[in-house]
Every structure is written in structure tokens, then in C-alpha cells.
Structure 1
């Protein structure tokens, strides 16, 4: 089987194949917003289409490609492991590679997280954290935050504070309690009966890049300690340097009881998730020999995933990518924040490290206000597409809307971003935001087209 020849022969069929056999609605979305490209190569923070055009990827596979795509160190490590004919997934054995990765994770995670459990993804890591918390405390309740996202399997979904993902999948798991993000009083009220197993939160919420008040996470950790509640930090997206520190909790000096990691740990190649937790929690869960396999994941400790994780941690350290994330993020915020005073639709530019959001809001001037209301009436959050689509079409910058129904555009690029890339982003954003403030203009012509399509979909036409 010559897989490369097969890909070359059929490279123009990707959209047809997905329409026939996978998610046809995803194909419709990409064609509607003009994102239907045929990418044929990827390197670092760049994608290349069949015509040789270069794109700057600020989506990074939803944060998977912290090292960029096809990093040579990770490629070499995986090739070495594949060529070594190592025993893999013996199951009634303990592998050296998983031990080495666990040792390294303990070294770089916050103090006190001495035990590691491996899974295949972020949502699996969260599911494990929920189970570990319930068993270790003997309690059933889980407190989570509005707007938080923890995954789409049933337990993780039960802790996801977004009705867009939850609607139609109920009843979800019982004993999950929602509180507002950043509200210590509400959290104290939820925990005061001392019957909650765990409080789970993203230190910085990915959907919207919402940064909590400075006292929130330290206060939450103190409340958890006082009430015997485990503090679970979901660092699936924020971890491994994304925010300019190893972990987002490091910005506040918080030491969680359980920490979930995935996405970037894969190096962009082999899915891997991990739970780091305090030893007493682990020993409660696996407290006897007959409970040694009471929770597990068949592929969780596979050799390729473990090798990819080790290579990723090595690259983060040797190439100083966490420091680069902090430096590039600070400079980009400094470049973009002045636009807030220049353009009335741009409400805020915020972020930590290379996790950055542009938030847009209803303008004051009459012509812009009327145009804005037209878009919002058709579909809430539609204005954001007037930013992401021109960024892509005119400047070949791939970005995303930060969440359903939000007028927030989010950048989570690879941590390898260069000064040239930063200038590329700043010039593109400045041009597109300026154009979105010209009424009438090309941007608003496109906005009207989007609104028309949105109204047609609501009416069930087309």
C-alpha cells in the first residue's frame, strides 16, 4: 500500500468524501465562510494549500500544536520508537516509557502532584478526575462554572456550563452544580455544606478567554481546602506554556489537588491525556491489589503517545517556548490594545501568553449600531465572522470565534511564533477591524450575505 500515492491521486476529493461519509454540515460551514481550502503541507505555524499559498495558523488544532506542526524532534522520536520494535500495551506489565513521562510530568507540575494517570484525551482526563474525586472523598457532588468547557463525553458534558453543547443530551449526570465563574460568594455557598467532592474549573476559560479576578483562584483553593473539596484545574488548553507559564494556575500561585492535561502534550501527533493528582487521592482509588485496574484506558499508555509526550516536554524546555509565549503574548497585546480606543466596535483585547481574545460589542454611532443590530437579529455573534473571514481571505490568517453566540475572536497560535508572525497578525487585524467600521463597505456587504444565509437556515430553507 502506497499511502502517499493514494493521497496524491485523490487529494481533491476531501470535501466530497466528508459530505458522503462524515459530517456533511461541517463541509457546508467551511464552504459558507470560504474556509474550504485543500491543505497539502504543514510546517511549524504554517499551512500550505495546493496552490502553494502560506497561511498563518492561529487555531493550532484547538491548541494541540503548541510546538507547531511536524516538529522535527517529535518526528524523529516517533520514528525511533516505531523502528525499535518495542513491546507495546502488554497490559499485564508496566512500560518504561510511561514511567519516564510520568516522572517528567511530576517534575514540571505544581508541588504535591506526585501521581499520574494516562488517558487518550482531555475529556477522558476530566472523566477520570470526576471519578477519582468522588471515590477519594466519598461525596458525589461536583461544582463547575458557567461558561466553562470540559469536554463532550457525558461526565465532562455534565460539568460544561454551556447550553449549546448540553441541549438535547439530557438527562445529564446528577449532582452537578453550576456557579458563576469568578464569583467567590457563589462558590462558598455551593461548598458550605461540605458535601461536594470537587470544584472543577479552567483557570482561564477557553471559550471567550475569560480571565478571573486576581483573588478568585487563590480564594477558590482556600474554600476547597476549608470544606474538604478537591480543587480540579482543567489545564487541557491552558497548560504547557500556553499562557506564558507552565500552567495557568502558576500565575496565581495556586496548587490544585488534581490537574488535567492533554492537547499540546501530544506534540500534535498521538492523542494523549493525563491526570496529575496528590498521592493520597491515587492511593484511595487504587487501595488494594484487586482494585489495580478499577479505572483505566486501553490505549492510555501506548508507546507512541508516551514518546510524543516526552519529546514535547523536551522541546518546550530546550527551545524556551514558554518564555517565548509570554514575550510574544505581551508584545501582541501591546500592539493590539490601542485599537480599542480607535474603533468603537472593539470592546477589549485581553489574554495571557499566546491565548488572546478580541471582544466586540455594539457600537455607539447610528449607522454602525443599525448594521450591528441587523447582524445580531439574524444570528447572535455573527459580527465575529466579519473579522475571522477577511483575516483568512485577505491575510491568510486562520482564526476562530471563541464560542457559540460570542462576538469574541480568539488566537491560540503555536508557541513558536516569531516577530515576523507577530507583525503579520497585527497588520491583518488592524486592516480587518478598520474595514469593519466602514458602513457601507465590503465588510458589511459580506455581513449582509452572512445574515441572509443565517435567516434562511433558521427558516429551514437551504
Structure 2
């Protein structure tokens, strides 16, 4: 009987950075008395444990409670979260106002999904986003994930322009569905799923001339860009790059799609990162932190005229839809999140605390031989590490820092397509005290490079990488 490893252990949420039980495996489903199938796990001693029992044990034994910036574990120690679910936990874990909004909706029992009309909370959320969005963007389409938002933008661009091709940036990341992968400039993410959709071309991030060379063919439906590349290594767009690309798109009739899934909603010290240089895209994409991490939701924001050009006829009006898009619970969470951001001044706080975070990172890393560069904006930063002499590559040096920080009670992680870059991405509710604690952990971990402790933590990082690979491919 084929056996596969299970990444369902008490520490799996830390992405395997501690040793986990890689011997646990699962077998074929068995029938429960009620007739429904149940998967059983076989533990290291050969005992059979149902998945539901595994889930119950994990919920009881691991993060006993998670609130704001901290996860309180059963052992009594806290973990300071400077990863924030890759930006999804924008207001910290379990923000009380967002939870209250969701609970109120559930108690009121409004219609959850009205697929033939606008659900009232979806209409209100769309109104608020249109008021915030730059450049007269006044129509919202809601879905459940950033990947879906990218798919929607691609379909909109092809229908509205009647053009086949897309231009994206090397090292970009736009999602995991087939269309989103097709415009993702990461070979590591793309290669296993070839052949992907045709018509996507990739140019160096920051090279407006390369974009124009593609646009001159006048067959490009859209240019898709991130104002700051996240998984590609926390690389902000060079000054003047986005305004120039916007001008070129207008000149050659292509749409400019800005993927602000990671940079939007205050993360970079502006409500939207594109506002830094007054860029007005044709399509703006949001997800992750839109609901404060409480419910899955994404938003495609565009101009009504553009949407009607694509879908404004009887034979095309229903060619793009999302079953769970615009549901009452997710929209209530998103409305509450926007209200907390406004009421608590979190956009301004991100700019203010972002400056303080930059200073503390700079002080902790100054002159260190492993630190190549620190870059970012607001509350979105990357620490770019240089692989040391002696054989440890970038894959391990990034995890070495992650493991060392975690041992000091701070959760971080590397970028998916730049594993030598450690991302620093706290919730918008971060405090000076939390930043001080993060900076101290960073300084102490980097100091281990000059001690014998360096090799043991590096070995732990190597085990973590091997463990994840074994679970993925074993």
C-alpha cells in the first residue's frame, strides 16, 4: 500500500522549522458507522488515529490562543508574529472588531450569496473601495483569493482589448492557479506545470524600455506588475518606473494591472503603494489583508466602462463569476477591516512605524558580513543575505536566520523565489515594543555568526529544508 507523509503535526504551521514527526503516514479511507469515509493516520508506534482526532489534538495542543501580534502556546511561550500570514493577518490575529462584525452577520442571518444581484454588504464594500481607489476606479468584482483576482484581470483584459498577450516581470509572483502561474515570472513555480497558457512574456523588473519593446507589437492585452516584488525578494519598483509604464500602456492601448495583494491597504505607508507616485492603473487587485485574515476575499477594482466593454452584452454578462465572491461574512469582515484601518490611522502608523522598523533593522545589521542589503517600504521589508564562505548556499543561510529568530520567539520566513531574503512583515497594528523585540532577536541571531553556535543552527536549518523536501516529494 502506498504511503505518503503528512504535514499535519503540532508545529507544521511554522513550516517545518522545528523537527517534526515525518514518520506519520496515512492509509486508504475507512467507513465510519454513519457511512462517511474517514482517513486514518498511522503513528510511529503503528497506532491508528483518525484525522478528526488529529485535528482535535492539534487544536488543543498547539497555539492555545492567538491574539494580535502573539501566539500563546500550550508550553506557555509566546511567538511574536512578524510574518502575519504573508500579509493576510493585517490587523493582527483575531481582531475583536472584525470578529464582532462577522458574529453580528451570522446572528442576523442575511442572504449570504445573491448570485443574480448585489448582496447588500458586497455593495457597501464596493462603495467604500471605490471611494479609496485611485484614478476613478468605480467597479468591484469579489472573489476568494488573489489568484482568482489575477485570473479575473486576465480575462477582463483579453475581452476588453481583444488582444492575446501579457507582459509581466521576471521574479514576479501572481498566484498558483494555471492562469496566474502563466504570468508569474518564477521558473521554480512555473516549471512543474508546463505547458501553461500561451501569450505571456517576461521582462526585467524596472526596465520600462523592455516593456515598450513588447508593447510596440500592439498585441499586448495587459501589463501586470507588483509595485514591490514580494516573493521575488522584496524589491520596490525603481523611482519613475511605474509612471512610465502607465504612460506606455496608455500610448499603446494596453491595460495596466497592478497586483497590490501584498502591498495594498496601508502596508507600504499609503493606502495603495501605487499612490506613492500617483500611478492610476486600469485594474487594481487586492486580497490577503482585505478581511483582516478572518475570511477569504479578494477584489478586482476597475472602471465600469472597461468592465462593460468586456461583459456588457447579453451573451457575455455571465462569463465571469465566483460562487463565494461577495459573500456576507467575508464582506462584513472586509468592511470592518477598512473601518479599523481608517479609525485607528493604520496607514499613517505604517509609514511612521515603518520608518522606525527600517532604523532598527539598519542598526541591527550594520556592517554584518552576511547582510547584503535591506530594502522595502512601510511595514514590508526584506533582509538580503549573502551566502558565507564554506559551502552554505542562500537556501540555507535564509533558513538559518529564520530558525535563529524563531528560537528567540520571533516568526519570520524567507521569500518563496528568493530564499536568501528574509521577509519582515508585521501586522499593521505593530508597536514600538514589538519592533524593539524583533530587532533584539535579529541582532542576537546575527551575532551567532561569529560563534560556534552558528554551525549548530545552520545544521537545524538544513534539517528543516530536508524535512520539507521529504514531506513534499517523499
Per the normalisation by structure 1, the TM-score is 0.88
Give the aligned partner of residue 375 of structure 1. 392
Cα distance in structure 2, aligned partners of 1:318 and 1:35: 42
Conserved? CA contact 2:16–2:464, under 8 Å: no
Contact 1:384 1:401 survives alignment (8 Å): yes
Tell me by how many angstroms 1:420 deviates: 0.6
Q: Given the superposition, is the C-alpha separation of residues 279 and 417 from structure 1 closer, same or farther in structure 2, using an over 3 Å criterion? A: same
Partner in structure 2 of residue 81 of structure 1: 105
Indicate how the Cα distance of structure 1 residues 214 and 51 shifts in structure 2: closer, same or farther if over 3 A, else same: same
Match of 2:433 among 388, 398, 420: 420
Cα pair 1:382 1:405 within 8 Å, conserved: no
Q: Deviations over 1:304-359 (max 9, x none)?
A: 01111111100000011111111111111112224444211111112111001111
Whose helix proportion is higher, 1 or 2? Answer: 1
Q: Answer yes or no: is the 8 Å Cα contact 1:44–1:69 preserved in 2.
A: yes
Q: State the shift of 1:125 in Å.
A: 0.3
Alignment partner of 1:447 out of 445, 458, 468: 458
Change (3 A) 1:290 1:94: farther
Q: Label 1:399 to 1:449 Cα distance change in 2 as closer, same or farther (>3 A).
A: closer
Q: Using a 3 Å threshold, how does the CA distance of structure 1 residues 327 and 166 change in structure 2: closer, same or farther? A: same
Measured in 2, the distance between the counterparts of 1:49 and 1:457 equals 22
Are 1:230 and 2:243 counterparts?
Answer: no
Q: Which has more strand, going by share of residues? A: 2
1:397-425 Cα deviation digits (max 9, x unpaired): 00001224531110111000011101101
Closer, same or farther: CA 28–44 of 1 in aligned 2, 3 Å: closer
Aligned match of 1:387: 401
SS at match of 2:126: helix
Structure 2 counterpart SS, 1:167: helix
Which stretches in structure 1 are left out of the alignment for 5+ residues?
A: 1-18, 363-368
- The answer as to whether partners of 1:148 and 1:160 remain within 8 angstroms in 2 is yes
Q: Is the 2:17–2:403 contact (alpha carbons within 8 Å) kept by the matching residues of 1?
A: no
Hey, what's the Cα distance between the residues in 2 that align with 1:163 and 1:57? Answer: 29
1:406 equivalent among 419, 423, 430: 419
Is the Cα–Cα contact under 8 Å of residues 160 and 306 in structure 2 kept in the other structure?
A: yes
Q: Which residue of 1 aligns with 2:120?
A: 96
Change over 3 Å in CA distance of 1:149–1:35 after alignment to 2: farther
* TM-superposed deviation, 1:241: 0.6
Long gaps (5+) in structure 2: 22-60
The answer to whether the 8 Å contact 1:34/1:389 transfers is no
Q: 1:140 to 1:260 in 2, by over 3 A?
A: same
Aligned to 2:70: 46
1:459 to 1:187, Cα distance in 2 relative to 1, 3 A: same
Q: Deviations over 1:138-164 (max 9, x none)?
A: 101011100100000000000111111
For 1:8-27, what aligned pairs fall within 5 Å after superposition? 27=12
Q: 1:420 to 1:453 in 2, by over 3 A?
A: closer
Distance 2:463 2:97 in 1: 48
In 2, are the aligned partners of 1:383 and 1:447 still within 8 Å (CA)? yes
Q: Match for residue 293 of structure 2?
A: 268
Report the number of matched residues: 429
Match for 2:79 among 47, 55, 76?
55
Q: How does 1:275-286 map to 2 (within 5 A)?
A: 275-286=300-311
Partner SS, residue 444 of structure 2:
helix
User: Any idea what the Cα deviations from partners look like across 1:177-232, whole Å, max 9, x if unmatched?
Assistant: 11111111111111111110000011100111101210111111111111101000
Asked if 1:293 is matched to 2:318, the reply is yes
Change in CA separation of 1:427 and 1:141 when aligned onto 2, cut-off 3 Å? same
Q: Secondary structure at the match of 2:442?
A: helix
Matched, 1:219 2:236: no
Q: Where does residue 275 of structure 2 map in the other structure?
A: 250
